[in-house]
Amino acid sequence: MDMEVALDSSTRPQDRSLAPLVAAANGGDRDAFRTLVEPYLGVALGASTLLTGSAADGADAVQEALLSAWQGLPTLREADAFPAWFRKHVVRAASHIRRVRDRHRVMQLDPATAGANDLERVVEGRSLSRAFDRLDEPDRLLLALHHVWGLPVAETADLLGVPAGTVKSRVHYAMQRLRAAYDAEARR
Amino acid sequence: MTEEFDTLVGAWFRDRAVPDPVSMATVYASLVTLPPRSDRRRPRLSAVAAAVAVLMVALGTVAILGLPRSSGGPLVPLPPDPAAFAGDPRVAACFGDTAPVEFVFEMPHAHDYQRHLPNMLLAPELNVEEPGFVVIYAAGAHPMTGPAESMPLGPDHRTICVLVSDMPSVYDDVDISRMQVDLGDAGTGTPAPSRSAPPDSGPPTTPTEAPAPSWAADLIAQIECDGQPQSIGGETGEVVGEAGSSVSPQAAMTAFLASTSFASVPVKGYEMTDREGHYARFTNSVDDRVKAIVIVRERSPDQGRGVWTPVGLRACDQSEFAPGDGLSFDQKLWLDGNGDVERADRIHSSRGPEHCGWQTAVFLWFEGSQYIRDPPGALADLTVVAFDANTALPDGARDTGLHTDDWRLFVEDGAGAVWIETSDGTVERWGRLRDEVGCM
């Protein structure tokens, strides 16, 4: 199974140290900060939209992540670790927003299926959206990290706080649960 | 896991991962308006806060918006005064210089967050060994939105920040009543009494202390099976499906049924037949006979917003469920010679698990033995007789009458295999496994 969509790998800044940009941003230079984060915004927004379940919440999560990263930049120890560090902010902000939202709703929303161009695909996409929404947070997070960000196992393990050796099997089990939820949706 | 499904999932993730232009523009706008470091207040009401407000209106809870805020009176015993942490960079990292701070304390291990704050909702990202640094903002204060824009909170509810490994996480609307700063060696420190639980009223009641209703006991006697019940699950006690934890009994059931990959229970047709205290009972019945029971229990109750988790499960054989209710685990049931569903404890089959590389295999359980359709020979070493994709029925083969849409089962006494006639007339030999195998 090889479905990773490493969207940000193609837009990653060239092989040069991020230290000057981080130092400048640390000094309050917003343009430097913007240059730092800009390559990652697209995929961050895509991932957070998945994690929160709506485009509006996803945008909110990225905004929160930008703000917390901006504020927390002095705590970043290794400048070149900025991309992974920023992803952590995005994931935490998205998880947080999802939790807040979940407390205030009973029915799951049915996000529109982007890019669907025929009836069958719309129906499949809707079932998949509902199935994904039925997964618990660790599964949603894991699948989003795996399929959208295409992160290496080590970084995925770090973000999830689990042993690296268990990431692949966790992905497998999460996919199984997604399949079960999808089948259940399809039978409704 | 079929290739078709993998393709569908891949395409869906790709579609969903493409940000829409409006959201992108919103993010860019916030990027160019980042506040200077001396003023970390967020310049506008966040979209999620607005959305929550709309949802609260929609859910009819708008009435609470007009209630006066909590007086913010201190809890007893108090955590250390924030002044004790003056100049501590962790306070600043938790935006403590942008909003008034009421309490600050340290957690030796972040994963103990629900022991320190028993009413805090689940926060999986805090399930780590590292210390946590907790900053609790004053009533009504919020480090992002500022006091004018923050959401009204209930009594004892605050916005808090938890710093772990230099990473701050902000949590809105946390109920800090029963807050416990010092857990003591055994984690049995005295909880701080809240206004709703005066000091002389004793510790708050928790679901573990409340007796379970009588209908939550002896589940095995409550199901009405035609034959032996399944061995899955157990009586009310320990958690049987952590992944099913949720904010209501119904939501917990939904999550549980979507995650029970290794139990075969109906995924539909449940009714909440009882609810009492912190327990609820769901039953699935066929012709008014109970075929499956799930007990869910509320943990860490918090003014009706505790976490509900399945804690008891008993179920009859899969063949006794209504076909339309589906199965939570992908098992194929077989039909007997009359076309009736045969009991799963006599025969059933399922695909091999992908994570062990067995996805091309089919496992067949028949009368206590396990057979395998294994074209690539992944488990050839473990079978009595090798798989054969094209053979003939042996002279002594006997038609069992057992069949599915695709297969019909033949057996021969004393053989280390079974024979399957496929829908196109081909006969396959499926070898018996010497020992039952599984894949974790």
pLDDT digits (tens, 9 = 90+) for B102-115: 888 888 888 888 78
Q: How far is A55 from chain B (nearest CA, A)?
A: 7
pLDDT band at A18 (very low <50, low <70, confident <90, very high): confident
User: Which residue from A106, A6, A109 is spatially nearest to A49, judged by alpha carbons?
Assistant: A109
Which residue in chain B is spatially nearest to A101 when comparing CA positions? B52
Parallel/antiparallel/unpaired status of strands B279-286 and B417-422:
unpaired
Average pLDDT, whole number, for chain A? 74
Q: What is the pLDDT of residue A105?
A: 35
The mean pLDDT of A165-175, rounded to a whole number, is 84
pLDDT at B254 over 80: no
The residue type found at B18 is: V
Q: What percent of chain A has pLDDT over 70?
A: 78
pLDDT at A12 over 60: no
pLDDT band at B398 (very low <50, low <70, confident <90, very high): very high
pLDDT at A85 over 70: yes
CA–CA–CA angle B370, B375, B380 (5° rounding): 55
Q: What is the pLDDT of residue B42?
A: 36
Q: Which tokens belong to A151?
A: 């992160």
Which residue in chain B is spatially nearest to A35 when comparing CA positions? B31
pLDDT digits (tens, 9 = 90+) for B111-128: 888 788 877 766 656 767
pLDDT digits (tens, 9 = 90+) for B355-373: 566 778 899 999 989 999 9
Chain A hits for B22, CB-CB cut-off 8 Å, are: 55
Q: How far is A17 from chain B (nearest CA, A)?
A: 22
What is the rounded CA–CA span in Å between residue B112 and residue B122? 11
Q: How far is A152 from chain B (nearest CA, A)?
A: 18
What is the rounded CA–CA span in Å between residue B255 and residue B251? 6
Q: Which tokens belong to B348?
A: 């059933």
Task: List Cα–Cα distances, B214 to B184, B196, B275, B281, B295, in angstroms.
Answer: 35, 29, 11, 11, 12
What is the rounded CA–CA span in Å between residue B251 and residue A107? 10
Q: B258–A181: do the CB atoms touch at under 8 Å?
A: yes
pLDDT at B95 over 80: no
The mean pLDDT of A128-146, rounded to a whole number, is 84
pLDDT digits (tens, 9 = 90+) for A44-58: 888 888 888 778 888
* Contacts of B88 by beta carbon, 8 Å cutoff, 6+ apart: B104
Q: A101–B48: do the CB atoms touch at under 8 Å?
A: yes
H or E element at residue B391: strand B388-391
Q: What is the pLDDT of residue B150?
A: 41
Q: What is the pLDDT of residue B431?
A: 94
Handedness of CA A131, A57, A7, A138 (dihedral sign): negative
Q: A50–B93: do the CB atoms touch at under 8 Å?
A: no
Q: What is the pLDDT of residue B135?
A: 87
Which residue in chain B is spatially nearest to A27 when comparing CA positions? B37
For B48, the closest of A60, A139, A178 (CB atoms) is A60
pLDDT at B412 over 50: yes
Helices (H), B265-424: none
The mean pLDDT of B391-415, rounded to a whole number, is 94
The mean pLDDT of A86-106, rounded to a whole number, is 70
Which residue in chain A is spatially nearest to B247 when comparing CA positions? A103
pLDDT digits (tens, 9 = 90+) for B324-335: 888 877 788 999
Chain A hits for B167, CB-CB cut-off 8 Å, are: 72, 75, 88-89, 92
Q: Pick B321 or B252 by higher pLDDT.
A: B321
Chain B hits for A64, CB-CB cut-off 8 Å, are: 46, 144, 170
Cβ-in-10-Å burial (0-12, 13-18, 19+) of A10 comes to exposed
Q: How far is A148 from chain B (nearest CA, A)?
A: 6
Q: What is the pLDDT of residue B408?
A: 97
Q: Pick B296 or B239 by higher pLDDT.
A: B296
For chains A and B, count residue pairs whose Cβ atoms are closer than 8 Å: 239
Q: Pick A137 or B38 by higher pLDDT.
A: A137
Q: B8–A187: do the CB atoms touch at under 8 Å?
A: no
Chain B hits for A42, CB-CB cut-off 8 Å, are: 19, 24
Q: What is the pLDDT of residue B395?
A: 92
CA–CA–CA angle B237, B238, B241 (5° rounding): 125
Chain A hits for B144, CB-CB cut-off 8 Å, are: 64, 67
Q: A46–B172: do the CB atoms touch at under 8 Å?
A: no
pLDDT at B305 over 70: no
CB B212 within 8 A of CB B300: no
What is the rounded CA–CA span in Å between residue B104 and residue B86? 10
Q: What is the pLDDT of residue B388?
A: 94
DSSP designation for B341: B
For A125, the closest of B12, B19, B47 (CB atoms) is B12
Q: What is the pLDDT of residue B94?
A: 78
Q: A161–B56: do the CB atoms touch at under 8 Å?
A: no
Parallel/antiparallel/unpaired status of strands B270-276 and B157-164:
unpaired
Q: A50–B16: do the CB atoms touch at under 8 Å?
A: yes
Q: What is the pLDDT of residue B82?
A: 64
Which residue in chain B is spatially nearest to A72 when comparing CA positions? B93
CB B292 within 8 A of CB B197: no
The mean pLDDT of B281-292, rounded to a whole number, is 94
Q: What is the pLDDT of residue B49?
A: 32
For A71, the closest of B18, B31, B40 (CB atoms) is B40
Q: How far is A15 from chain B (nearest CA, A)?
A: 24
For A101, the closest of B24, B51, B258 (CB atoms) is B51
Which residue in chain A is spatially nearest to B173 when comparing CA positions? A100
The mean pLDDT of B410-418, rounded to a whole number, is 93
Q: What percent of chain B has pLDDT over 90?
A: 23
Chain A hits for B37, CB-CB cut-off 8 Å, are: 28, 70-71
Q: Which of A172-186, B236-250, B341-355 has the lowest mean pLDDT?
A: B236-250
What is the rounded CA–CA span in Å between residue A86 and residue A73? 10
pLDDT at A112 over 50: no
The residue type found at B418 is: V
Q: What is the pLDDT of residue A166?
A: 82
Residue B321 Cα to chain centre, angstroms: 24
Q: What is the pLDDT of residue B192?
A: 40
CB B358 within 8 A of CB B396: no
Which residue in chain A is spatially nearest to B249 when comparing CA positions? A106
Chain B hits for A99, CB-CB cut-off 8 Å, are: 121-123, 171
CB A102 within 8 A of CB B307: no
pLDDT at A138 over 60: yes
Q: What is the pLDDT of residue B9?
A: 83
pLDDT at A170 over 60: yes
Which residue in chain A is spatially nearest to B89 when comparing CA positions? A75
Q: How far is B109 from chain A (nearest CA, A)?
A: 14
Q: B259–A136: do the CB atoms touch at under 8 Å?
A: yes
pLDDT at B194 over 80: no
pLDDT band at B19 (very low <50, low <70, confident <90, very high): low
For B247, the closest of A55, A102, A168 (CB atoms) is A102
pLDDT at B196 over 70: no
What is the rounded CA–CA span in Å between residue B265 and residue A36? 50
What is the rounded CA–CA span in Å between residue B307 and residue B330? 28
Mutate to test the interface with A, among B5, B6, B12 (most CBs of A within 10 A): B12
Q: What is the pLDDT of residue A102?
A: 55
Q: What is the pLDDT of residue B72?
A: 32
Average pLDDT, whole number, for chain B? 73
pLDDT band at B404 (very low <50, low <70, confident <90, very high): very high
